[in-house]
């Protein structure tokens, strides 16, 4: 049986790496959707709508494929944090994050372009931040990673040393919850093993 074409509507190298490590080999089509165009105050609704918008944008241009759109945000002290716009903002955020915890939300939207069916879900993982000193934070703020990820932090990159632990799915923090993806695929009648390459 030939695997269904699978498309990842994301430029995130971490998402792609995670999916490939799980036996999936999606084609990447970046949506180009303007994330700042949605003004939604509820963070769960916002992250879900962003994932839907990215998936729908890409699905409109592909045929016969399953399209996965994702978006991640960090909720910390009631504030929603996506990507930091500047290195100075990275420093300000990390000074607030250190020694505290936040909730990482990742919206998932899976679209079957054959049937037109669409399913969505939001994964949640609690992140316990460590206590990097000012020099470490400044060094991190100078990296490309710091401006490319929500929060800004990673658990699979340079900032991993600054995270003391998590409660929940690690993949969700990296950018795709594989158990959640499996559930969404099942709702569309597709087994995750059917997509193994």
Q: Which residues are catalytic?
A: 71
Phi and psi for 28 in degrees, rounded to 5? -95, 125
- Go through 61-74 and write b for each residue having 16 or more CB atoms within 10 A of its CB, e for each that does not: ebeebbbbbbbbbb
CA distances from 127 to 2, 34, 153, 164, 193 (A): 39, 27, 10, 8, 30
Max distance between CA atoms of the chain, in angstroms, equals 54
Q: For residues 48 and 18, is the Cβ–Cβ distance under 8 A?
A: no
Q: For residues 105 and 43, is the Cβ–Cβ distance under 8 A?
A: yes
Q: For residues 31 and 24, is the Cβ–Cβ distance under 8 A?
A: no
Q: For residues 49 and 36, is the Cβ–Cβ distance under 8 A?
A: no
Cα–Cα distance, 63 to 16 (Å, whole number): 21
């Amino acid at each position: 049986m030939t695997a269904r074409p699978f498309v990842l509507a994301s430029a995130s190298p971490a998402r792609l790496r995670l999916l490939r490590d799980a036996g999936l080999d999606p084609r990447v089509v970046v949506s180009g959707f303007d994330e700042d165009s949605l003004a939604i105050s509820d963070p769960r609704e916002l992250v879900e709508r962003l994932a839907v918008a990215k998936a729908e944008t890409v699905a409109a241009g592909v045929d016969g494929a399953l399209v996965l759109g994702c978006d991640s945000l960090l909720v910390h002290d009631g504030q929603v944090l996506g990507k930091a716009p500047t290195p100075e903002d990275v420093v300000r955020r990390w000074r607030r994050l250190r020694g505290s915890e936040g909730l990482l939300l990742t919206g998932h939207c899976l679209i079957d372009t054959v049937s037109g069916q669409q399913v969505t879900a939001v994964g949640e993982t609690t992140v316990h931040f460590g206590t990097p000193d000012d020099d470490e934070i400044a060094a991190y703020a100078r990296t490309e990673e710091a401006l490319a990820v929500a929060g800004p932090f990673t658990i699979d990159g340079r900032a991993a040393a600054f995270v003391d632990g998590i409660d929940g799915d690690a993949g969700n923090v990296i950018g795709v919850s594989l158990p959640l993806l499996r559930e969404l695929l099942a709702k569309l009648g597709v087994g995750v093993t059917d997509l193994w390459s």
